[in-house]
A and B are shown apart, each in its own frame.
Chain A
Amino acid sequence: AQKITQTQPGMFVQEKEAVTLDCTYDTSDQSYGLFWYKQPSSGEMIFLIYQGSYDEQNATEGRYSLNFQKARKSANLVISASQLGDSAMYFCAMREATNAGGTSYGKLTFGQGTILTVHP
């Protein structure tokens, strides 16, 4: 069984500073994917960044980077130069690949989420 743990229910950061949101995972699979999503108060889940288990370099997407430490089973999200619009709930998720119906699909397991508040 897979498990995602986000230990920080809430985080506060000053505008323009960097912040790290923690995520640890537990899996016996060798091949897996790790995702971060942002959920503003409007409700939509917005995909931010992806890291594959075999990727040797940390993923980066603009101001987002993923600090992937495979031996520790952690996949922390780093947001640089925080903006007021970054205030939202952030979810870490892990995919186990499943094959059925003639195609594979990504079955995601989500963590509890971290509420990030950016102060001016």
Chain B
Amino acid sequence: ETGVTQTPRHLVMGMTNKKSLKCEQHLGHNAMYWYKQSAKKPLELMFVYSLEERVENNSVPSRFSPECPNSSHLFLHLHTLQPEDSALYLCASSRGQGAADTQYFGPGTRLTVL
């Protein structure tokens, strides 16, 4: 299943680096999401974009900056991260319609902050 792709799959960065995570969906969906999955914690919703407009920002620190240039692409720009930001970052997309709005996930980017 290659409906939602994420690059890179693994990323190691220092606290002073700037990097970006990329997500692309090939499903014709209208909504895209960023989640953070830390060890021993449930998935945490970070951002939601609906029709390229940010509609949800769950008190995420400003060192995480999302960008949605079109309905197929979603980026997460990272700068001056902390070691506690090390986690699996998952992107998802959904149609954004109907009661059974199912989110489909990408493979994730495993981020390590040194």
Residues of A within 8 A of B (CB): 4, 31, 33, 35, 37, 42-47, 50, 52, 54, 91, 95, 97-98, 100-113
Q: What are 19 contact pairs spanning A and B, CB under 8 A?
A: A4-B42, A33-B100, A35-B102, A43-B107, A43-B108, A45-B43, A52-B100, A97-B101, A100-B50, A101-B51, A101-B53, A102-B53, A103-B50, A105-B30, A105-B94, A105-B96, A108-B103, A112-B42, A113-B42
How many angstroms between the C-alpha atoms of A54 and B100 in the bound complex?
Answer: 11
- In the bound complex, residues from chain A placing their C-beta under 8 Å from that of B101 are 33, 95, 97, 104-106
Q: Is the CB of B100 within 8 A of A103?
A: no
Is B77 an interface position by the 8 A CB rule? no
Given contacts A45-B90, A112-B42, contact A102 B103 (CB under 8 A): no
In the A-B complex, the 5 residue pairs with the smallest Cβ-Cβ separation, listed nearest first, are A106-B101, A101-B50, A45-B105, A100-B55, A105-B31
Given the interface pairs A101-B50, A103-B50, A105-B48, the reply to whether A91 lies near B100 with Cβ below 8 Å is no
Give the CA-CA distance A4 to B42 in the complex, in Å: 10
**Chain B min CB distance to A68 (Å):** 14
Q: Please give, as numbers and ranges, the residues of chain A lying within 8 Å of B59 by CB-CB distance.
A: none
Type the 1/0 row for B25-61, where 1 means its CB is closer than 8 Å to any CB of A.
0000011010000000111010010110101100000
B68-107, CB under 8 A of A: which get 1 and which 0? 0000000000000000000010101010111111111111
Chain B residue with minimal CB distance to A91? B43
- A43-B88, A112-B42 given; A107·B48 CB < 8 A: yes
**In the bound complex, CA of A33 to CA of B30 (Å):** 19
Could you count the A-B residue pairs with CB atoms below 8 Å apart for me: how many are there?
A: 90
Interface of A is mostly: strand
Cβ-defined contact, A107 with B99, below 8 A = no
Contact among A31, A97, A110 with B42 in the assembled complex (CB-CB below 8 Å): A110
Question: What CA separation (Å) do A71 and B63 show in the bound complex?
Answer: 43
Q: Which of B53, B55, B107 has the most CB of A within 10 A?
A: B55
The CA-CA distance from A4 to B63 in the complex, in Å, is 29
Shortest distance between the CB of B17 and any CB in chain A (Å): 22
Indicate if the CB atoms of A44 and B103 lie closer than 8 Å. no
Min Cβ gap A79→B in Å is 19
Known: A47-B104, A100-B56, A106-B94. 13 other contacts (CB 8 A): A35-B102, A43-B107, A46-B1, A50-B100, A50-B102, A100-B55, A101-B53, A103-B50, A107-B45, A107-B48, A107-B56, A108-B43, A110-B43
